């Protein structure tokens, strides 16, 4: 599907709840064959997606945006409103057999530019009481294939000292279900992607308050072995920022096994003339430090 802004329509039978949602508000839906997800429309988020479509280098780091969708009235007598509008975007876990998902809020500021005094005070207090204030990194939720993960309240209690353990738990699925080598490969790929994103953030003028990075990887040993046999997982790609077609072909090593995208733009803006988002960049830099420390620690005792 190409980027578009028109509103399409779909009846109630095409919607199913998104089974892999780990954070955020409810009512996120899968549409049709599951390659597209739909979340309730927020005008500011829609505007940010549509403006982002004009910046190719930034667009590469957000899910594919497919415009808006009107959900027609339910046919089974349920209480769904006759007209509900959704933003439609790429489902990053489509095709994964054992998806492992991590939602990480980035940046030290989570209040929007028009927050009321009450909202401002609440959000600033929340930032200071969590790792948002100290690291610009806060885990909102995760799902690891084959592992029972804590509820969201547990993640809110993480500190600058304990958050690394939560990241280690997220990557444990790669090791326990596939191999220690795969765990290292996944972490390395994520580091490279975050560094590339940071380079783009330095060159654009945005403010992405309360935005997250969504990490996904497939802990399917069968799919990993398939990619390995095809020579797609032998080496981590070169960390360059060229965007020509040849370089895109070289990046196929991670295509289909993992991805990381910036999401949740209800409080995001393009701000021409105001420079880059230093608070968001701070969070990205701290996140890279955490991931690099996991590489230095090596695999856990449960690995192969």
| pLDDT tens-place string over residues 71-92 | 776 444 444 454 588 899 999 9
Per-residue pLDDT, averaged over 131-151, amounts to 92
Could you tell me which residue, 182 or 235, shows the higher pLDDT?
Answer: 182
Considering the domain architecture, whether residues 86 and 119 belong to the same structural domain is answered as: no
Considering the domain architecture, whether residues 33 and 179 belong to the same structural domain is answered as: no
Contact yes or no for 12/75 (Cβ under 8 A): yes
Residues 6+ apart with CB under 8 A from 69: 7, 8, 9, 10, 31, 38, 85, 86, 87, 88
Contact yes or no for 37/50 (Cβ under 8 A): no
Per-residue pLDDT, averaged over 224-245, amounts to 61
Q: Does 252 score more than 70 pLDDT?
A: no
Q: Work out how many domains the chain is built from and give that number.
A: 2
Is 265 inside a domain boundary? yes
Considering the domain architecture, whether residues 73 and 185 belong to the same structural domain is answered as: no
Q: Could you read off the pLDDT of 146-202 as tens digits, one per residue?
A: 888 888 888 989 999 999 999 999 999 999 999 999 999 999 999 999 999 999 999
Considering the domain architecture, whether residues 13 and 70 belong to the same structural domain is answered as: yes
Q: Does 137 score more than 50 pLDDT?
A: yes
- Count CB neighbours of 253 within 10 A: 18
Is 1 inside a domain boundary? no
The Cα 282–Cα 280 span in angstroms is: 5
Considering the domain architecture, whether residues 75 and 107 belong to the same structural domain is answered as: no
The sign of the torsion formed by the CA atoms of 280, 219, 256, 238 equals positive
Only one residue has tokens 């959900």, namely 71
Considering the domain architecture, whether residues 27 and 137 belong to the same structural domain is answered as: no
Of the residues 57, 90, 123, the one at which a domain ends: 90
Considering the domain architecture, whether residues 50 and 130 belong to the same structural domain is answered as: no
Q: What's the pLDDT at 26?
A: 61
Contact yes or no for 35/91 (Cβ under 8 A): yes
Considering the domain architecture, whether residues 109 and 251 belong to the same structural domain is answered as: yes
The Cα 290–Cα 89 span in angstroms is: 29
Q: Does 1 score more than 90 pLDDT?
A: no
Is 2 inside a domain boundary? no
| Token pair of 170 as six digits | 């997220």
pTM value > 0.75 = yes
Provide the residue range defining the domain that includes 147. 99-297
- The share of the chain scoring above pLDDT 90, in percent, equals 63
Q: Does 6 score more than 80 pLDDT?
A: no
Q: Could you read off the pLDDT of 21-73 as tens digits, one per residue?
A: 556 556 787 777 778 888 889 999 999 999 999 999 999 999 999 999 887 76
| Token pair of 195 as six digits | 């560094």
Tell me the CATH number at 132.
Answer: 3.30.470.160
Considering the domain architecture, whether residues 86 and 103 belong to the same structural domain is answered as: no
φ, ψ (nearest 5 deg) of residue 209: -75, 135
First to last CA, the chain: 40
Of the residues 44, 66, 90, the one at which a domain ends: 90
Of the residues 33, 55, 90, the one at which a domain ends: 90
């Amino acid at each position: 599907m190409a980027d578009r802004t028109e509103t399409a329509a779909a009846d109630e039978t095409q919607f199913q709840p998104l089974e892999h949602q780990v954070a955020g508000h409810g009512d996120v839906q899968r549409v049709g064959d599951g390659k597209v997800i739909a979340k309730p429309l927020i005008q500011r988020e829609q505007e940010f997606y549509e403006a982002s479509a004009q910046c190719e280098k930034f667009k590469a780091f957000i899910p594919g945006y497919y415009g808006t969708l009107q959900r027609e009235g339910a046919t089974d007598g349920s209480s769904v409103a006759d007209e509900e509008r959704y933003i439609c975007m790429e489902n990053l876990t489509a095709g994964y057999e054992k998806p492992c998902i991590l939602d990480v809020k980035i940046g030290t500021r989570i209040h929007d530019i028009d927050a009321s005094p009450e909202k401002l005070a609440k959000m600033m207090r929340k930032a200071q009481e969590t790792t948002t204030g100290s690291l610009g990194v806060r885990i909102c939720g995760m799902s690891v294939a084959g592992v029972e993960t804590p509820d969201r309240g547990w993640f809110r209690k993480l500190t600058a000292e304990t958050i690394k353990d939560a990241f280690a738990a997220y990557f444990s699925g790669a090791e326990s279900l596939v191999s220690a080598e795969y765990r290292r490969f996944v972490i390395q790929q994520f580091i490279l992607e975050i560094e590339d994103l940071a380079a783009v953030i330095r060159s654009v003028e945005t403010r992405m308050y309360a935005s997250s990075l969504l990490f996904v990887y497939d802990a399917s040993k069968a799919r990993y072995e398939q990619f390995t046999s095809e020579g797609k997982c032998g080496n981590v790609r070169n960390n360059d920022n060229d965007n020509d077609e040849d370089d895109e072909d070289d990046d196929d090593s991670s295509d289909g096994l993992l991805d990381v995208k910036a999401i949740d733009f209800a409080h995001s803006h393009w701000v021409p003339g105001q420079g880059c988002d230093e608070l968001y960049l701070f969070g990205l830099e701290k996140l890279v430090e955490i991931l690099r420390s996991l590489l230095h620690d090596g695999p856990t005792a449960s690995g192969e």
